[in-house]
């Protein structure tokens, strides 16, 4: 699944922060490689991993290790959900295009995907096998805390999911339901304890401010608001988007509580992806691939005979693999870092050395530039203030380019 150690713009941001953290033996206060200077507000999990493992080991091992764990987790969830062909679920995950692309580089989303689906497995096991409520009290806050420190989008997914499951289980089994709901309070407090006060002082307030700016001003680049095209969402992740329509075939069927839990997970992600009008709603779909594959398989098993089920699953996997190969090829071809790398390679070595030792600012909005050459790019960091700066900069570049000096 791994194409190379770094891929996509954001990977170089994470590597820059991690490299500086190694140098300073602690995560930096401000984000490197950008002007003006902005305080670091990004969830620190990926940067801590790079700091602990080193840059080269991180590029080599983080992505394939997380991918391998996700494949194992997909199988365990499928077994817990009692599907007849459990290998279908990890197979779907392995060849789903955007999971494949995200798993090709240094990226916090696969880590948060692992945490979200591990949460789903924990809930399934507790409900299916009637484990002690203490298990929920211990595990759920830990998972929520780690999600808080990994990825904002995953936290935005886990909040409505945990609330819905908590309410559902409170009606059915009050003790378990209240334990689940309490994790949304204990989890952030635990994240704050792990980061010695950083999360509640810096991380969470900026996340809330980021969302408020997002809701008020629209997409962080275009400023537009609008529903994602269903066709684009299907193209991005057909498994996750189409799983709910598939589940309609089960309306008259009696289903287990565990399957209802999986449906709640899929419903949460589907609603967020379709009705998140502030841009990038398709990114939510990545978190639902494993659960959605289970929904699709259980639906197919209930409608078709065992022979037709195997035939249908095989054809579906082949089609999904074909789509993934096309999208992965397009993503690799569209990777600007490859073009920038080839251009930089043509610069004579003595000129590169002079550039690295000098202070300069670049208007190329790609983190690869400061990662490869040093210096800084004129760009806001991934924070609420950085988002506002990028909007203002984009407006000036479009309306009054003469006012921009690089």
Report which of residues 139 and 103 the model is more confident about: 139
- Longest CA–CA separation in the chain, Å: 73
pLDDT band at 200 (very low <50, low <70, confident <90, very high): very high
Angle, to 10 degrees, between the axis of helix 174-194 and the axis of helix 133-148?
Answer: 40
CA distances (Å), origin 338, targets 13, 43, 174, 345: 16, 27, 54, 11
pLDDT band at 257 (very low <50, low <70, confident <90, very high): confident
The arithmetic mean of pLDDT across residues 321-335, rounded, is: 73
Burial label, 208 (beta-carbon count in 10 A; 0-12, 13-18, 19+): exposed
Of 22-36, 139-153, 190-204, give the lowest mean pLDDT range: 22-36
Most confident stretch, 5-9, 202-206, 298-302, 396-400: 202-206
Distance of CA 178 to the CA centre of its chain: 27
Residue 1: the pLDDT is 35
Which has the closest alpha carbon to 365: 406, 314, 323?
406
pLDDT at 221 over 70: no
pLDDT at 39 over 80: yes
Residue 4: the pLDDT is 47
pLDDT at 101 over 60: yes
Of 138-147, 283-292, 352-361, 371-380, give the lowest mean pLDDT range: 352-361
pLDDT band at 365 (very low <50, low <70, confident <90, very high): confident
pLDDT band at 220 (very low <50, low <70, confident <90, very high): low
Our CA dihedral for 123, 124, 129, 135, rounded to 10 degrees, sits at: -20
pLDDT band at 9 (very low <50, low <70, confident <90, very high): confident
Cα-Cα end-to-end distance for the chain = 39
Q: Which two tokens stand for residue 123?
A: 């809930």
The arithmetic mean of pLDDT across residues 235-244, rounded, is: 88
pLDDT at 2 over 50: no
Of 114-123, 127-136, 289-298, give the lowest mean pLDDT range: 127-136
pLDDT at 3 over 60: no
**Cβ-based neighbours of 221, under 8 Å, separated by 6 or more:** 279, 390, 391, 394
CA distances (Å), origin 275, targets 109, 211, 329: 21, 15, 29
pLDDT, tens digit, 9 for 90 and up, residues 154-199: 999 999 999 999 999 999 889 999 999 999 999 999 999 999 999 9
pLDDT, tens digit, 9 for 90 and up, residues 70-99: 999 999 999 999 999 999 999 999 888 777
pLDDT band at 245 (very low <50, low <70, confident <90, very high): confident
The arithmetic mean of pLDDT across residues 238-244, rounded, is: 90
Q: Are strands 34-35 and 376-378 parallel, antiparallel or unpaired?
A: parallel
Residue 329: the pLDDT is 73
Rg from Cα positions in the chain: 22
Residue 223: the pLDDT is 64
Burial label, 252 (beta-carbon count in 10 A; 0-12, 13-18, 19+): exposed
Angle (CA) 307 310 315, round 5°: 125
The proportion of the chain whose per-residue pLDDT surpasses 70, expressed as a percent, equals 90
Question: What mean pLDDT value characterizes the chain?
Answer: 86
The arithmetic mean of pLDDT across residues 382-400, rounded, is: 78
Residue 35: the pLDDT is 86
Of 26-35, 154-163, 190-199, 341-350, give the lowest mean pLDDT range: 341-350
pLDDT, tens digit, 9 for 90 and up, residues 271-310: 999 988 777 788 899 999 999 999 999 998 888 888 898 8
Residue 120: the pLDDT is 96
The H or E element containing residue 378 is strand 376-378
pLDDT at 406 over 50: no
């Amino acid at each position: 699944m791994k194409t190379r150690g770094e891929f996509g713009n954001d990977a170089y941001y994470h590597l820059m922060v991690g490299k500086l953290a190694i140098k300073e033996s602690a995560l930096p206060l401000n984000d490197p490689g950008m002007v003006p200077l902005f305080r670091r507000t990004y969830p620190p999990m990926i940067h801590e991993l790079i700091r602990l493992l080193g840059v080269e080991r991180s590029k080599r091992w983080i992505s394939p290790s997380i991918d391998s764990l996700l494949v194992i987790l997909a199988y365990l969830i499928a077994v817990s959900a009692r599907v007849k062909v459990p290998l279908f679920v990890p197979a779907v995950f392995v060849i789903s295009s955007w999971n494949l692309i995200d798993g090709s580089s240094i990226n916090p989303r696969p880590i948060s995907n692992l945490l979200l689906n591990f949460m789903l497995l924990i809930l399934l096991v507790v409900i299916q096998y009637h484990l002690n409520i203490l298990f929920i009290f211990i595990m759920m806050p830990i998972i929520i805390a780690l999600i808080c420190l990994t990825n904002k989008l995953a936290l935005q997914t886990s909040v409505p999911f945990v609330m819905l499951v908590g309410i559902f289980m409170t009606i059915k089994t009050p003790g378990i339901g209240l334990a689940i709901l309490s994790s949304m309070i204990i989890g952030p407090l635990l994240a704050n304890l792990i980061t010695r006060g950083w999360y509640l002082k810096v991380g969470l307030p900026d996340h809330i401010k980021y969302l408020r700016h997002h809701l008020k001003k629209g997409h962080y680049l275009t400023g537009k608001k609008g529903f994602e095209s269903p066709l684009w969402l299907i193209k991005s992740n057909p498994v996750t988007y189409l799983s709910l329509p598939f589940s309609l075939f089960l309306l008259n069927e009696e289903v287990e509580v565990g399957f209802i839990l999986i449906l709640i997970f899929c419903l949460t992600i589907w609603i967020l992806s379709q009705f998140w009008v502030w841009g990038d709603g398709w990114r939510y779909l990545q978190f639902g691939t494993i659960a959605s594959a289970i929904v699709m398989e259980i639906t197919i098993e209930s409608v078709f005979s065992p022979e037709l089920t195997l035939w249908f699953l095989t054809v579906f996997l082949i089609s999904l693999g074909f789509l993934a190969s096309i999208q992965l090829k397009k993503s690799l071809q569209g990777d600007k870092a490859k073009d920038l790398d080839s251009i930089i390679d043509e610069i004579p070595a003595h000129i590169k050395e002079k550039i690295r030792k000098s202070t300069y600012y670049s208007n190329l909005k790609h983190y690869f530039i400061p990662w490869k050459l040093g210096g800084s790019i004129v760009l806001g960091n991934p924070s609420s203030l950085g988002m506002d700066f990028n909007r203002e900069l984009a407006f000036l570049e479009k309306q009054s380019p003469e006012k921009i000096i690089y």
